[in-house]
Amino acid sequence: MTQQTKVNVGGLDFEWDLSQGRFLFEGQNSVLFWTSTAMKMFFDSIEEISGEEAAAVVLESTGFRQGQVVGDYFHGMGGVSVMKASDLITNTYASAGWGVAAIHNLDVEAGTLEVTLKNSWEYQINLAQGKKTGGSFLPAHYAGIFSSLLDRSIWYEVVHSQIEGHDECLIRYFPSDETIDKNIHALARRKESEKIRELEQLVDEKTADLHDMIREISSPLIPVLEDIVVVPLLGRYDEARAEELLTKTLENLPKYKARYLLLDLTGLNESFNQHAAMLIEKLGSAANLIGTKTVLAGISPHTSMTITEAGVDLSGYECFRTLQHSIHFALAQNGKTII
C-alpha cells in the first residue's frame, strides 16, 4: 500500500495517510478499533470504575449527545428531507461498521418512528461481555439524531433486543419529556438515597452498640459491704433507661441478699428530671416488697426541688447529703460501724 490511499465505498470516501498516521472517513479524522476486544475492554473499564448502573447512564447520555451532533450535521444540509437524511445516516453507519440499521414508519408530523438494528458494534460488545440485555448507547444515539432532525425531544423504548435471541433489535421512538439530564439527575438521587440509607444503617448499628454499652456501664449495682448494695444514678434518664435500671436492679438485689439499697444521686446533679424522680419512687417501693430498705444519698437543692415538683413522696426514705453518711447509717442499723 502506498503512503496515501483513498477508496470510495457506497458513495462514502475512506482515506489513509500512513505518513501522518491518519485515517479519514468522509474527510474527517477517524479511528478504528477491534470491537469484541479493544472496545469491549473500554466498556468493561467504564463499568468496573463506575458500576453497571452508572455506566449505562454514561453510555446512554454519550450516545444521545453524539446523535444530536450527527442530526445537526444532516439537518444543516440544505434541501435534505428528514427521510432522505435517515437514508444517508443508515448508509453511512453501515459503511462505518455500525451494523445494519433501517428506519420504519417514520411520521414526521407525529414525531414517531421505529428503528431496527442488526449486528451493531454495541451488540457485538455486549455479546462478548456475556450480557443478557442490550446496551443503551445506540438506542439513545438515534433518539439524539431524531431529536435534532425533528426539532423536538424524542425518546425511545426497546421493544426487543438481538442479544435476547431475536433476529434484530427493534426500538420505538416517540416525543417525550424524558431527557438524559433527567436520567443523570435521577441516578444521582438514587446514589444519594443509597448512601443515606447506608449511613442511616451505620448510625442505627452504632446507636445500638452505644445503647448496649450504656446499659453495661451505667448505674451498676455495687455490693460495697455485707447486705449493702449501692446503685449510683448517672446521667439523664428517659422512660426506656429508667425501666432498664428498674428491671436490672430488682433482678440482682436477691442475688446479693441486700437488706439496704443505697441510691446515690450525686451523679445526676442538673440532669435530674421527673423520669429519675419516678424511678426512685418505683425502685424504693419495689425493693421494699422484697425486703430491701431504700436509702437516698447525694440529695442536692436542685434534686429536692425536682422531686417536690414531680409530686413524688419520698418521706418514707432515709435521705443523706453524702454516700458516706448513708453507708454509716446502713451499718448502724445492723449494729456495725466503720473503724
Domain contains 257 = yes
- CA distance readout (Å), 86 to 17, 92, 102, 127: 30, 10, 9, 27
Domain contains 243 = yes
Produce one character per residue of 57-91: b if its CB has 16 or more CB atoms within 10 Å, e if not: bbbbbbbbeebbebbeebbeeeeeebeebbeebbe
- CA distance readout (Å), 220 to 107, 233, 239: 81, 8, 18
Q: Are residues 179 and 231 in the same domain?
A: no
Higher pLDDT, 286 or 193: 286
Nearest to 276 by CA among 303, 253, 305: 303
Return the HEC string of 16-28: EECCCCEEEECCE
Q: Are residues 266 and 292 in the same domain?
A: yes
Domain contains 4 = yes
**8 Å CB contact between 228 and 260:** yes
Higher pLDDT, 160 or 180: 160
C-alpha to C-alpha distance for 208 and 243, rounded to whole angstroms: 17
CATH number of the domain to which 270 belongs: 3.30.750.24
Domain contains 202 = no
**Confidence (pLDDT) at 53:** 82
pLDDT digits 0-9 by tens, 217-253: 556 788 888 789 998 887 777 787 788 888 888 888 8
Angle, alpha carbons 138-54-152 (nearest 5°):
45
**8 Å CB contact between 156 and 139:** yes
3-state secondary structure (DSSP) of residue 238: coil
Q: In total, how many domains does the chain have?
A: 3
CATH number of the domain to which 160 belongs: 3.30.1380.20
C-alpha to C-alpha distance for 143 and 173, rounded to whole angstroms: 7
Which amino acid type is present at position 225? Answer: L
Q: Are residues 38 and 146 in the same domain?
A: yes
Average pLDDT of the segment spanning 131-153: 92
Q: What is the rounded average pLDDT for all residues in the chain?
A: 84
Domain contains 195 = no
Q: Are residues 268 and 126 in the same domain?
A: no
C-alpha to C-alpha distance for 229 and 262, rounded to whole angstroms: 6
Q: Are residues 160 and 50 in the same domain?
A: yes
Residue 44 C-alpha cell reads as 468493561
Q: Are residues 240 and 318 in the same domain?
A: yes
Q: Are residues 171 and 287 in the same domain?
A: no
Report which secondary-structure segment, H or E, holds 233. none
Q: How many CA atoms lie within 13 A of 40 on its CB side?
A: 13
Which amino acid type is present at position 166? Answer: H
Least confident of 1-5, 34-38, 43-47, 86-90: 1-5
Higher pLDDT, 104 or 47: 104
Least confident of 42-56, 196-210, 289-303: 196-210
Q: Are residues 184 and 163 in the same domain?
A: yes
pLDDT digits 0-9 by tens, 40-70: 888 889 888 888 888 888 888 989 999 999 9
Average pLDDT of the segment spanning 6-10: 84
Domain contains 339 = no
Nearest to 142 by CA among 110, 115, 178, 175: 115
Cα 323 to chain centroid, rounded: 51
Confidence of residue 158 (pLDDT cuts 50, 70, 90): very high
Domain span at residue 319 reads 217-333
Domain contains 203 = no
Q: Are residues 39 and 28 in the same domain?
A: no
Domain contains 198 = no
Confidence of residue 115 (pLDDT cuts 50, 70, 90): very high
Q: How many CA atoms lie within 13 A of 56 on its CB side?
A: 12
Q: Are residues 40 and 178 in the same domain?
A: yes
Q: Are residues 126 and 252 in the same domain?
A: no
Domain ends where: 142, 169, 188? 188
Q: Are residues 22 and 126 in the same domain?
A: no
Residue 197 C-alpha cell reads as 440509607
